[in-house]
Amino acid sequence: MPLPQKIGFIGTGAITDAMVRGLLAEPAAVSQVMLSSRNAEISAKLAADFPAVLVSSDNQAIVDGCDTVVLAVRPQIAEAVIRPLQFRDGQKVISVIAATGRPTLSDWIGADVSLTQAIPLPFVCRRKGVTAVYPPDRETAEIFNVLGSAVECDTREEYDLLAAASALMATYFGIMHRATEWLAENGLPEEKGQAYLAPLFAGLSETALLADKEVDFIEMSREFATKGGLNEQVFRDFEENGGSRSIMLALDRVLARIRG
């Protein structure tokens, strides 16, 4: 299915920046993007980098000028921005607004639009992102397949769970940071620690991506943990000192927050 050739964005933050850069990277996936000028710095930079970007100070003009509109404003101001806009029945609307459910969005929009939600991550700028989409929607999935890959969720419960799992990103980098700190405290220059750990973790992620679909992560953990070896020791210490339990509790708390 071909992508819509004109996509509008209401809100111009980091995720809009990443999506636009991914969509317009060569070869461009769409012919034109309309942006709101709320963040003048980001919108001006995108317009300077891509001739296909049109910046508008009028959000209604973006809604009127595009068949597909992405809502990308902060949750705190979302209602004030969206409610005054006049959408068309049948218009495609994709919300990337965090922690805001479909019933609430539908009430604010006030028209019979085709509404989907998505959780794009910053990597979409390099067309490497995986994006959760709810409900399943072929047109929305195609957009995010261009930007990496889409996982279509059959239920809101599935979507909320993936939203919670995405909150592990900072922890991933936090583990790398703590390991780099430990290396530095024991005499290894920080830049050498970073130069070693970044490709190490990247290689592990690639191994997971290329693994047989029937092999689960704990099996892979066992493969990397030689009996009596160093990896087995670290994972055992991690488990016995509450590491896994802490992750589960943190995910429980973030899921509760997502569900309100």
Domains of the chain (ranges, CATH numbers): 6-154 (3.40.50.720), 167-258 (1.10.3730)
Position 2 pLDDT exceeds 80: no
The pLDDT score that the predictor gives to residue 32 is: 96
Mean pLDDT in residue range 125-131: 95
**Residues 16-75 pLDDT 10s:** 999 999 999 999 999 999 999 989 999 999 999 999 999 999 999 999 999 999 999 999
From the centroid of its chain, how far is CA 79?
Answer: 22
pTM equals 0.91
Name the residue with tokens 């290329």: 210
> Confidence band (pLDDT; 50, 70, 90) for 1?
low
Segment (H or E) for 107 = helix 102-109
State whether residue 3 is helix, strand or coil.
coil
> Is residue 130 helix, strand or coil?
strand
Average pLDDT over residues 141-157: 97
Q: Is 2 exposed, middle or buried (0-12, 13-18, 19+ CB in 10 A)?
A: exposed
Q: Average pLDDT of 152-161?
A: 96
CA 109 distance to own-chain centroid: 23
Cis peptide before 51 (omega within 30 of 0): no
Instruction: Spell out the residues 6+ positions from residue 148 whose beta carbon is closer than 8 angstroms to its own.
Output: 22, 123, 124, 127, 128, 129, 130, 131
Per-residue pLDDT of 181-233, as tens digits, reads 999 999 999 999 999 999 999 999 999 999 888 889 999 999 999 999 999 99
Q: Which of 98-102, 138-142, 157-161, 200-204 has the lowest mean pLDDT?
A: 98-102
Structure tokens belonging to residue 260: 């309100």
User: In whole angstroms, what is the distance from residue 25 CA to residue 46 CA?
Assistant: 12
Q: How far, in Å, CA of 19 to CA of 25, rounded?
A: 10
For the segment 74-98, what is each residue's pLDDT rounded down to a tens digit?
A: 999 999 999 999 999 999 999 999 8
Residue 25: the pLDDT is: 96
Residue 188: half-sphere exposure toward Cβ, Cα within 13 Å? 13
Q: Check whether 128 has a pLDDT greater than 70.
A: yes
